[in-house]
Structure formats: C-alpha cells, structure tokens
Amino acid sequence: MALLTPNDLININKQLQEADSTVQRVTGLDIKGICKALYGTFPGSEKVGIVPVTSGNGIIGNFSASLNAITQYFGFESFVTDMLDVSGYYEAVRNGAEIILMADDYTFLAHNLKNGKMANNQPCTGIIYAEIASRYLKADSKNVLVVGLGKVGFPGAAHLVQKGFRVYGYDPDENFLQRAVSSLGVIPFNPEKPKKFSIIFEATPCANTIPEPVLSENCVLSTPGIPCAISEELRTKYDVQLVAEPLGIGTVSMLYSVL
Ligand code: NAD
Ligand code: 2YG
Ligand code: MG
C-alpha cells in the first residue's frame, strides 16, 4: 500500500493546471470535458464535504486541503470539516454536504447522499487515465501498452478493452498478468521482445517502469503511478507527452461518477 506524502501534494493547483493543459493538448478536451464524455454527467450545485480521517497511518498533511482545492478547481462548492472521523461526518451532513469525500489507508470514497451512488478512487483513477490515453489525437494505431495491472491498472485495462483497443499488458506478478489475460483478453507483453507504442498507460508504485525500447517519439504516457514511471532524461529524449498528477484527476473522476 503506497500512501501519498504531504510533499506529493505541494502546489496542487499548479500541478492540476499543468495536467489540464497537457490533457487538452493530447486529447483536444480539458479534464472536465473528459469527465463529461466518460460519465455523461456534469455538476449542478452539489456541495462536497471533506472529512479528515485519523485511522491507520493517520492524517496526511495537505490531503484534505488539496481535496478542497481540487473540488473547487472543478467548480464544486466544498468545505473541510473541523471535526475528524465520525464527528466530522456528522458535521459534514449537518452542514449540508451532498457528497462526502473521505479516505483511510485502504479506501478513498465519494458518496453522493442524494442519489446513493458511491465511487472508489482506484477504479475511477484507472478509468480516467486510460480514457485520456485512449483519446490521444496523434495515436498511430489502436495498440495500447498497460504497465501494472493492480487495483488501478486492471480497471483501466478493462476500460480500454471495452473501448475496442488492442491492449498489451505487463505485470511482473504472474497472477495479475494471467487474470488480465484470461478475464479481459489482454495480450501478454514480453519485455524481451519489445515493440513501440504511441499510447502507454502505467499504474505502478515504482519508478522507471517503462523500458526505453517501447517508447516512440512523441508518445503519450498517461500515469497516475507515484513515483513517476519515466526519467526526465527519457521523457526529453522521446518528447513524451506526460499526463501525471497525484490526486486531482482521480478525484474529479470519482465526483462525476456519482453525479
Ligand atoms: P497495486 O499494488 O494494486 O498495483 C500495482 C501493480 O504494479 C502490481 O500488480 C505490481 O505487481 C505492479 N508492478 C510493480 N512493479 C512493476 C513494474 N516494474 N512493471 C509493471 N508492473 C509493476 O497498486 P494500485 O492501487 O494499482 O496503485 C498503483 C499506483 O497508483 C500507486 O503508486 C498509487 O499510489 C497510485 N495512485 C495514484 C492516484 C492518482 O490520483 N495519481 C490514485 C490512486 C493510486
Ligand atoms: O484523511 C486523511 O488525511 C488520511 N486518512 C488520508 C489517507 C489517504 C490514503 N490513501 C492514499 O494515500 C492513496 N493511495 C489514495 C489517494 C489517491 C491519490 N493517489
Ligand atoms: Mg489523479
């Protein structure tokens, strides 16, 4: 379980703005446009209540404040409760929250109290990063490489298969790879027989997971994985279009999915 650190979340507004302009350049849509296309929803005047949670490893500095900045960046009204945990939940609902955002070490959820819909961060993150990758305007084919087939990568791979892409998958854990092959029809990628891709989606907690031979000039790398999947050197060498941001894109995907 890889947890965010306060450092990952420094300057979240600047990180979001940069990600938004990359998404726009790569797909022709901004992040809100991607969400609308993906879920067919758009925000009305939903009020979002953010509840800090102390269980397990406890409060992550900047986490609730970043969620507040993110929800407002995307046009929602939001507030962070003064109280924590159950008392914070009580405060959020009493103060008119219609959507609750809260996370412990295992689950980061959005719950719309009006319509009952609930979202989990991991699949919502995988799906939106995969959707962004799938919309690359300069893609040279329907081939996509998915690196990492865990809680975020698997639902992203499933989304790409459902959209009609030819999905190559790699995970060093044979069980995770086989699950994707047998249940999704993913083509196992053999790093010893590399092939170039113009679309790559990565979701691992490791650095340097993209082998150089798979990179094509100006390819898109859409990755929620922390730390970043590619070195600055390789990014520059291949002029990679990198979509990577620590919290906001996954969070807005959750919010639109519960509208
Ligand atoms: P997970 O542990 O469920 O899955 C990670 C997978 O990556 C595992 O199956 C593992 O075998 C595989 N892997 C490890 N090293 C690899 C390598 N070198 N090449 C290919 N695959 C490799 O983790 P997860 O919940 O899917 O999260 C993945 C990453 O996404 C984490 O870093 C997490 O913090 C991050 N995350 C980011 C956001 C965001 O908004 N940016 C949201 C959720 C999760
Ligand atoms: O309320 C708090 O401050 C903490 N209880 C939040 C804990 C969040 C733990 N989860 C993670 O760090 C992430 N793996 C999930 C967040 C998605 C963005 N990477
Ligand atoms: Mg994100």
- Over residues 226-241, the pLDDT tens digits come to 999 999 999 999 999 9
Residue 1 lies in a domain: no
Which of 107, 108, 120, 255 maximizes ligand 2 atoms within 8 Å of its Cβ, making it the mutation to test the pocket? 108
Identify each DSSP E strand in 23-142 by its residue range.
Answer: 47-51, 77-80, 99-103, 108-112, 118-120
* pLDDT score recorded for residue 108: 98
Whether residues 139 and 86 share a domain: the answer is no
* pLDDT score recorded for residue 136: 98
Ligand 1 neighbour 88 (Cβ under 6 A)? no
Residue 75 lies in a domain: yes
Whether residues 105 and 191 share a domain: the answer is no
| Domain count of the fold of the chain | 2
Q: Which residues lie closer than 8 Å to 194 by C-beta, 6 or more apart?
A: 211, 213, 214
Per the structure, the complete domain to which residue 224 belongs is given by 123-245
C-alpha 242 – ligand 1 centre gap (Å): 17
* pLDDT score recorded for residue 133: 99
Note the pLDDT tens digit of each residue in 120-153: 999 999 999 999 999 999 999 999 999 999 999 9
Residues of the chain below pLDDT 70: none
Whether residues 177 and 127 share a domain: the answer is yes
Whether residues 114 and 174 share a domain: the answer is no
| Predicted model pTM | 0.99
Of 151, 62, 65, 49, the residue nearest 106 (C-alpha): 151
* pLDDT score recorded for residue 11: 96
Whether residues 147 and 88 share a domain: the answer is no
Whether residues 128 and 101 share a domain: the answer is no
